Amino acid sequence: MVTEKSAIFIIFGGSGDLAHRKLYPSLFRLYKSGFLKDHFAVIGTARRPWSDDYFRETVITSLKDYFDDEEEVMKEFSKHFFYQSHDVNDSEHYIALKNLAAKLDDQFKAGHNRVYYMAIAPRFFGTVAEHINSEGLKTADGYNRLVIEKPFGRDLDSACELNGNISKAFPEDDIYRIDHYLGKKMVQDIPVIRAQNDKFEEALNNKYVSNIQVTLAESIGVEDRGGYYETAGVLRDMVQNHIMQIIGAIASIDPKAKDAKVIHKNKCDLFGSLKDLTPEQVDTNFVRGQYDTDNLDDEKAYRQEDNVAEDSNIETFTAGKIEFENDRWSGVPFYIRSGKRMPDKSSRIDIVFNDNVTDLGIKANTVVTLLIERTNDHSILINGIDYKESAQDFIKFPEEKDFVGAREAYESLIIDILSGNRVNFTLWDELRSTWTYIDAIRERWDSQTPDFPNYVSGTMGPDAAEMLLERNGDSWVWDD
Ligand code: NAD
């Protein structure tokens, strides 16, 4: 059932790429489906001096990239959009924002609710949050929620500093840190699948699981994001956040938990049990790579990309073995892998069971694959067979009919923000544990010079990624 929500959105960075490519199309979908109707307004802010009309035109232009023939609805929708030019350091501008938000709240009867969305560079997050507080933008009789995009720091120290700045202005319960993988239907379905399939859940532990593999592979290179990528690399860009959160969905206890606090505590406990890595273990358990041209020289090597240093040592591929020290998972390797310029786009979890599962009436060495990307409606494979054709009575797919029309990640996350549902956001304690773990790898890597480039574009990464598993007698389920 659709319940209309009311709020004033203040989008810092309202002229930027994220706002136009992700936020406005998602807000439009919510408008079309009735979650947003009469009682909302969007204030876009950025440095440029735009009029409301011009801002609305930019919004409509970006919507046309995603929707056809709906110009009248777009126009109606755009009447809820207003623009306020704004410099993050100028206190006067916050007063103007406050007054505009109050006026629009009266006009649209938005219930004094505010969503402050940071679609700007992270270096501004602290300044903006502090000004929202000090200039009195927060309302007393509605909610005030702060939404933050990744990257959330580049290591534990910078994440602590960033968090220190925003938490002076907003309590943790009002901070919504977006990891868009947590908005994906299939990631949200992982606990549901576990909760609804007792036998599967019973088998998800070190007695029955041989290893778990999480792959987030892309076939494209860095495209026009070389400048950003040079400050990140795949370890920070994909592993610290998305891969860890996917592991959280498959490996934390009690998938039947409904309360956000319990769910987060379970995830925090899991990340708190990550097995520490010595520098030598980083060498044996983690592989890094950087793409070269392809064999035909059709594709650029990473070092030839725009805004990338000719001698860059940033990794575009990583594979690793993550281990936990807890009753449930000790001894089970979680192999992770993410890279650019791999043969295909593929986001998947492969759970490889051992031969003890025969005790549960399941065929020895069964592999269950959960596909995370919604490329079609085949979401679960067992032993490589589409589940729907498989006779095995192991797991069933939840709400299958809903899956095809599932919401986009941002759309689903915005509904959560408007509903005050914090289940699908990242808490500070989770970040602290995952950054601590990632920092140990990064520090070791930064102390050594890699031999890059070391994999050909369009391949499965460096050979060392295969050897990592072979050493344990395992192999990647997804292989070219
Ligand atoms: P962008 O460069 O396209 O937009 C940045 C916005 O910030 C612009 O509207 C700009 O006018 C505004 N801005 C810059 N300096 C300002 C100042 N001094 N005062 C007021 N406004 C100022 O960037 P983007 O790609 O939209 O990214 C925004 C944030 O979202 C970043 O933190 C980025 O890491 C994150 N993010 C972006 C994407 C994406 O797909 N673009 C994906 C994930 C996370």
User: At how many degrees (to 10) do helices 409-419 and 24-32 cross?
Assistant: 70
Q: What is the CB-side half-sphere exposure of residue 20 using CA atoms within 13 A?
A: 14
All structural domains of the chain with their residue ranges: 7-149, 182-404+424-470
Pairing between β-strand 317-322 and β-strand 334-339 as defined by DSSP bridges: antiparallel
Residue to mutate, 10, 15, 18, ligand 1, most ligand atoms under 8 Å from C-beta = 18
Phi and psi at residue 154, to the nearest 5°: -120, 0
What is the fold of 7-149? Rossmann fold (3.40.50)
Q: Is 413 in the pocket of ligand 1 (CB under 6 A)?
A: no
The Å distance, Cα 152 to ligand 1 centre, comes to 14
The Å distance, Cα 17 to ligand 1 centre, comes to 7
Active site (catalytic) residues:
242
Domain 182-404+424-470 of CATH type 1.10.10.10: no
Residue 340 among known ligand-binding residues: yes
Residue 404 among known ligand-binding residues: no
In this structure, which residue's CA is closest to atom 32 in ligand 1?
Answer: 121
Q: Is 90 in the pocket of ligand 1 (CB under 6 A)?
A: no
Q: Is 231 in the pocket of ligand 1 (CB under 6 A)?
A: no
How far is it, in rounded angstroms, from Cα 42 to Cα 119?
A: 13
Residue 224 among known ligand-binding residues: no
* Cβ–Cβ under 8 Å, residues 116 and 101: no
- Comparing C-alpha atoms, which of 116, 41, 107 is closest to residue 86? 116
pLDDT tens digits in sequence order for the chain, 480 residues long:
789 999 999 999 999 999 999 999 999 999 999 999 999 999 999 999 999 999 999 999 999 999 987 899 999 999 999 999 989 999 999 999 999 999 999 999 999 999 999 999 999 999 999 999 999 999 999 999 999 998 899 999 999 999 999 999 999 999 999 999 999 888 998 998 899 888 899 999 999 999 999 999 999 999 999 999 999 999 999 999 999 999 999 999 999 999 999 999 999 999 999 999 999 999 999 999 999 998 887 889 999 999 999 999 999 999 999 999 999 999 999 999 999 999 999 899 999 999 999 998 888 888 888 888 755 444 566 665 555 544 355 677 655 544 445 688 999 999 999 999 999 999 999 999 999 999 999 999 999 999 999 999 999 999 999 999 999 999 999 987
Q: What residues pair up with 36 in beta bridges, in sequence order?
A: 5
